[in-house]
C-alpha cells in the first residue's frame, strides 16, 4: 500500500482536504499585495523643484503660473523635474514670452526640495524621502532588496522545512510576515524601510514554499491540479484586491499596514494545520504520523479506518519510504544523481526566465502611460483566462507541454513589441498583457510541476532552489531595463528571448500527469527511460531512416 492508498483509506479528498486547501489558499490573497506593493507605495508622482524661499512668499498665483515662473520646460513644454530657475522669471507670464529667451545659466538643481502632485497619491516613499532626480534609483533598489530577501528566504526556509517540517516553518513565516510588514509601515527612514522589506521578502518565500508543499502532499493525485490552480487563482484575485485597497488608501504607510495585519490572523489559525505525513514517515516519526492520519480520518468521517492504523502497519505499508535512509539532505543532492541533476538544470532555466520576464513587465506599470490602477486591473484580470487555460492543458495534455508552450508564447508576445512603434501604445500594451498572462500561466504550472518532479526527501530543497532562481530573475530584471540607454529595444529582446529558450529546454522534462509522487531519490533514478529521451531516440531513428 502506497501513501496515495493511505490517503484514500482516510477519506481521499474529504472534509479535511477541503478545509486545508481553503486555509492555505486564503493567505495567497495578500501575498500578491506584498509582491506588487511598490507599484503604489513607491509610485513617482509628477513633481518639480520648489522655488527659492525668497521667491515663495506670494500665494496669489495658480499652479500653472507658479510652475511657469519657477520651472524650466523641456522641448515638449513639460516641466523639467530636476531643475529650477535661479531667479523668478516674471516675464514668462507675458502672453508672447517664449522659452528660447532663457539660457542654461538661468537654472540650478533643486536645492530646496520638490513640490509633488498629490492628486493621485497622497504619500509614497518617493514623496516622503525625496527619492527623485539624483536619488531616483533608490525606489527600484528597494524592490531589488525585497526580491533579494525573497531569494534568501527560498534558500533558507526550503532547507529548514525539510529539516524541521513544513508546518513549523509555515507558522513562523506567517508571524515574521505580520511583524516585519507592520514595522515597514512605521519605518523612520529609507534604510529601515529596506531592512524590514527584506525580512518580509524572506517570510513570503517561507509561506509560499510550505503552502504549496502541504497542498501537494495532503492532496490525492487526481486532485493535485485543481487544488494547485485554486491557489494560483487566489494570487490573481489578490492582485485585484491590491488595486481596490490602494485606490481607497492613498497613504503608503496605511496601505502597507493594511496588507500586513491579516497575517496575524493567518498566524493564529495556522496552528490547526497537520504536518505532512510523508515528511514524518521519512523522518522516522511514525507515531506522530499515525496520529495525524487518524485526525484526518476522523474529520473525513473515517474514524474506524483511522483506528486500524498503527505505526507497524504504517511502516509495513510504506516500507519503501520508511526504510532507513540519509537523515539529512542538502542542496548538493539536487545534482548528485543523473536524473535529478537533469531535472534541476531544466527547472533552473524555467523558473529564472518566468520570473525574469514577469517582473520586467509587472513592475513598470507607470511606463505604459495609462492610469496605474487601470493597468493593474488589466494585468490582474488577464490571469483568470490564462490560468484556466493552463488548468485545462495540465489536466488533459500534460504538464510538460503546458510549461513549455506558455513560456514560448510569452517570449514571442514580448518580442513582437520590438517591432511595434512606440507611438502605438494600445497595441504595445495588448502584447505586454498577453505576455504577462502567459507568464502567469507558466508560474501556475511551475509550482505544481516542480513539486511533482522532486521526490519527498528533497522536495522542499528543490522548491527552494527553484524559487531562488526565480527571485534571482526578479532581482536582475530591473538591471536589464537600464540597457535601454544603449539600445532602446534591448530590454524587450532580452525579456522575450529568455522565456523562448527556457520553453525549448522545458520540453525535455519528464511528464507527471496522473503519476504518483516519488518519495526517494532512488525512485526517480529507477524509472524507465524518460518519455522525452524515447522521443529523441525515435526522432534520431527517423532521421537515419529518411537520410
Lowest mean per-residue pLDDT among 139-148, 178-187, 462-471: 462-471
**Residue 423 and residue 318 in one domain:** no
Lowest mean per-residue pLDDT among 70-74, 205-209, 333-337, 381-385: 70-74
Query: Would residue 41 count as lying in a domain?
Result: no
What would the pLDDT profile of 55-79 be if each residue is shown by its tens digit? Answer: 554 544 555 556 666 666 666 566 6
Query: Would residue 474 count as lying in a domain?
Result: yes
Band of residue 529 on the pLDDT scale cut at 50, 70, 90: very low
Residue with cell 537533469: 342
Long-range contact set of residues 256-259: C-beta below 8 Å, sequence gap at least 24: 256/37, 256/41, 256/181, 256/184, 256/185, 257/181, 257/182, 257/185, 259/30, 259/33, 259/34, 259/37, 259/181
What would the pLDDT profile of 180-213 be if each residue is shown by its tens digit? Answer: 999 999 999 999 999 999 999 999 988 888 887 7
Contact 442, 460 (CB under 8 A): no
Angle between helices 15-25 and 286-299 (to 10 degrees): 100
Q: How far apart are CA 367 and CA 379, in angstroms?
A: 14
Give the model's pLDDT for residue 326: 54
| Residue 255 confidence (pLDDT) above 50 | yes
Give the model's pLDDT for residue 319: 57
Domain CATH number, residue 273 = 1.20.1250.20
**Residue 301 and residue 156 in one domain:** yes
More confident residue, 424 or 319: 424
Round the average pLDDT of the chain to a whole number and report it: 77
Dihedral of alpha carbons 515, 519, 521, 523, sign: negative
Q: How far apart are CA 471 and CA 520, in angstroms?
A: 27
Give the model's pLDDT for residue 360: 81
Q: How far apart are CA 452 and CA 464, in angstroms?
A: 14
What would the pLDDT profile of 410-437 be if each residue is shown by its tens digit? Answer: 999 988 888 887 777 788 888 888 988 8
Contact 403, 506 (CB under 8 A): yes
Q: Which of 208, 213, 215 is nearest to 13 (CA)?
A: 215
Please enumerate in sequence order all residues whose Cβ is within 8 A of that of 427, keeping only pairs 6 or more positions apart, or say none.
Answer: 420
Q: Where are the alpha helices (DSSP H) in 11-97?
A: 15-25, 28-35, 38-41, 63-70
**Residue 96 and residue 129 in one domain:** no
Give the model's pLDDT for residue 532: 41
Band of residue 4 on the pLDDT scale cut at 50, 70, 90: low
Q: How far apart are CA 544 and CA 547, in angstroms?
A: 5
Average the pLDDT over 486-515 and give the result. 84
- What percentage of the chain reaches a pLDDT higher than 90? 13
| Residue 154 confidence (pLDDT) above 70 | yes
Give the model's pLDDT for residue 323: 46
Dihedral of alpha carbons 192, 193, 198, 203, sign: positive
How far lies 487's CA from each of 14, 176, 270, 321, in Å?
Answer: 56, 42, 50, 55
More confident residue, 529 or 48: 48
Give the model's pLDDT for residue 468: 78
Contact 70, 49 (CB under 8 A): yes
| Residue 225 confidence (pLDDT) above 50 | yes
**Residue 304 and residue 371 in one domain:** no
Query: Would residue 454 count as lying in a domain?
Result: yes
Give the model's pLDDT for residue 223: 73
Give the model's pLDDT for residue 254: 94
Contact 147, 359 (CB under 8 A): yes
Query: Would residue 426 count as lying in a domain?
Result: yes
More confident residue, 389 or 539: 389
| Residue 50 confidence (pLDDT) above 80 | no
Final residue before a domain boundary, out of 70, 99, 116: 116
Task: Give the residues across from 79 on adjacent strands.
Answer: 73
Query: Would residue 133 count as lying in a domain?
Result: yes
All cell numbers assigned to 50:
520648489
Angle between helices 399-416 and 383-396 (to 10 degrees): 140
| Residue 545 confidence (pLDDT) above 50 | no
**Residue 518 and residue 547 in one domain:** yes
**Residue 15 and residue 88 in one domain:** no
| Residue 256 confidence (pLDDT) above 80 | yes
Final residue before a domain boundary, out of 283, 306, 326: 326
If one counts the domains in the chain, the total is 3
Range of the domain at 250: 1-31+123-326
pTM: 0.73
Furthest CA-CA distance within the chain: 96
Give the model's pLDDT for residue 27: 87
Query: Would residue 36 count as lying in a domain?
Result: no
What would the pLDDT profile of 440-458 be if each residue is shown by its tens digit? Answer: 888 888 878 888 888 877 8
Final residue before a domain boundary, out of 64, 98, 116: 116
Query: Would residue 144 count as lying in a domain?
Result: yes
Q: Where are the alpha helices (DSSP H) in 318-363?
A: 319-322, 338-362
**Residue 355 and residue 490 in one domain:** yes
Q: How far apart are CA 234 and CA 239, in angstroms?
A: 9
Average the pLDDT over 93-118 and give the result. 62
**Residue 346 and residue 227 in one domain:** no
Give the model's pLDDT for residue 97: 52
**Residue 150 and residue 188 in one domain:** yes
Q: How far apart are CA 198 and CA 435, in angstroms?
A: 28
Residue with cell 520553453: 503
What would the pLDDT profile of 265-296 be if each residue is shown by its tens digit? Answer: 999 998 888 887 777 777 777 778 778 777 87
CA dihedral 5, 8, 12, 15 (to 10 degrees): -130
All cell numbers assigned to 301:
468521517
**Residue 405 and residue 296 in one domain:** no
| Residue 505 confidence (pLDDT) above 80 | yes
Query: Would residue 39 count as lying in a domain?
Result: no
The SS3 call for residue 158 is helix
Contact 344, 337 (CB under 8 A): no
The SS3 call for residue 78 is coil
More confident residue, 439 or 317: 439
Enter the DSSP assignment of 325.
Answer: -
CB environment 271-284: b (16+ within 10 A), e (fewer): eebbbbbbbbbbbe
Average the pLDDT over 10-14 and give the result. 73
**Residue 154 and residue 251 in one domain:** yes
**Residue 394 and residue 358 in one domain:** yes
| Residue 99 confidence (pLDDT) above 80 | no
Enter the DSSP assignment of 458.
Answer: G
Contact 499, 353 (CB under 8 A): yes
Amino acid at each position: 500500500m502506497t501513501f496515495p492508498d493511505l490517503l484514500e483509506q482516510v477519506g481521499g479528498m474529504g472534509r479535511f482536504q477541503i478545509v486545508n486547501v481553503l486555509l492555505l489558499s486564503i493567505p495567497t490573497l495578500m501575498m500578491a499585495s506584498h509582491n506588487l506593493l511598490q507599484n503604489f507605495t513607491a509610485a513617482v508622482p509628477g513633481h518639480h523643484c520648489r522655488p527659492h524661499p525668497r521667491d515663495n512668499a506670494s500665494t496669489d498665483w495658480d499652479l500653472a503660473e507658479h510652475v511657469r515662473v519657477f520651472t524650466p520646460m523641456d522641448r515638449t513644454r513639460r516641466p523639467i523635474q530636476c531643475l529650477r530657475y535661479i531667479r523668478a522669471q516674471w516675464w514668462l507670464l507675458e502672453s508672447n514670452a517664449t522659452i528660447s529667451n532663457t539660457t542654461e545659466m538661468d537654472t540650478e538643481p533643486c536645492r530646496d526640495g520638490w513640490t509633488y502632485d498629490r492628486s493621485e497619491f497622497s504619500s509614497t516613499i518617493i514623496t516622503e524621502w525625496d527619492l527623485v532626480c539624483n536619488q531616483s534609483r533608490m525606489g527600484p533598489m528597494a524592490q531589488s532588496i525585497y526580491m533579494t530577501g525573497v531569494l534568501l528566504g527560498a534558500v533558507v526556509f526550503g532547507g529548514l522545512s525539510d529539516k524541521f517540517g513544513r508546518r513549523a516553518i509555515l507558522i513562523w513565516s506567517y508571524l515574521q510576515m505580520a511583524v516585519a510588514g507592520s514595522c515597514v509601515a512605521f519605518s523612520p527612514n529609507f534604510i529601515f524601510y529596506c531592512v524590514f522589506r527584506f525580512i518580509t521578502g524572506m517570510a513570503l518565500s517561507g509561506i509560499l514554499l510550505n503552502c504549496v508543499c502541504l497542498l501537494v502532499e495532503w492532496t490525492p493525485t487526481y486532485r493535485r491540479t485543481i487544488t494547485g490552480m485554486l491557489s494560483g487563482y487566489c494570487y490573481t484575485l489578490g492582485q485585484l484586491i491590491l488595486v481596490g485597497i490602494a485606490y481607497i488608501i492613498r497613504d503608503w504607510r496605511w496601505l502597507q499596514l493594511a496588507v500586513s495585519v491579516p497575517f496575524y490572523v493567518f498566524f493564529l489559525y495556522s496552528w490547526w494545520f497537520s504536518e505532512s505525513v510523508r515528511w514524518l514517515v521519512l523522518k522516522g516519526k511514525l507515531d506522530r504520523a499515525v496520529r495525524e492520519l487518524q485526525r484526518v480520518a476522523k474529520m473525513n468521517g473515517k474514524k474506524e479506518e483511522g483506528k486500524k492504523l498503527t505505526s507497524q502497519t504504517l511502516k509495513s505499508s510504506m516500507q519503501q519510504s520508511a526504510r532507513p535512509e540519509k537523515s539529512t539532505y542538502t542542496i548538493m543532492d539536487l545534482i548528485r544523481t543523473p536524473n535529478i541533476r537533469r531535472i534541476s538544470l531544466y527547472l533552473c532555466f524555467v523558473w529564472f526566465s518566468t520570473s525574469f520576464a514577469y517582473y520586467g513587465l509587472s513592475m513598470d506599470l507607470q511606463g505604459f502611460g495609462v492610469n496605474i490602477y487601470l493597468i493593474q486591473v488589466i494585468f490582474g484580470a488577464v490571469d483568470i483566462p490564462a490560468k484556466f487555460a493552463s488548468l485545462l492543458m495540465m489536466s488533459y495534455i500534460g504538464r510538460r507541454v503546458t510549461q513549455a508552450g506558455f513560456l514560448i508564447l510569452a517570449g514571442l508576445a514580448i518580442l513582437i513589441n520590438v517591432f511595434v512603434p512606440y507611438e502605438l501604445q494600445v497595441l504595445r500594451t495588448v502584447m505586454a498583457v498577453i505576455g504577462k498572462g502567459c507568464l502567469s500561466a507558466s508560474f501556475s504550472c511551475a509550482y505544481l510541476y516542480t513539486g511533482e518532479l522532486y521526490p519527498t526527501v528533497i522536495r522542499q530543497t528543490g522548491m527552494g532552489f527553484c524559487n531562488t532562481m526565480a527571485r534571482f530573475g526578479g532581482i536582475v530584471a530591473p538591471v536589464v531595463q537600464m540597457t535601454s540607454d544603449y539600445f532602446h529595444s534591448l530590454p524587450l529582446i532580452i525579456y522575450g528571448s529568455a522565456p523562448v529558450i527556457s520553453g525549448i529546454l522545458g520540453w525535455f522534462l519528464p511528464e507527471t500527469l496522473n503519476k504518483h509522487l516519488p518519495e526517494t531519490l532512488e525512485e526517480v533514478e529507477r524509472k524507465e527511460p524518460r518519455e522525452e529521451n524515447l522521443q529523441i531516440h525515435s526522432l534520431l531513428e527517423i532521421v537515419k531512416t529518411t537520410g
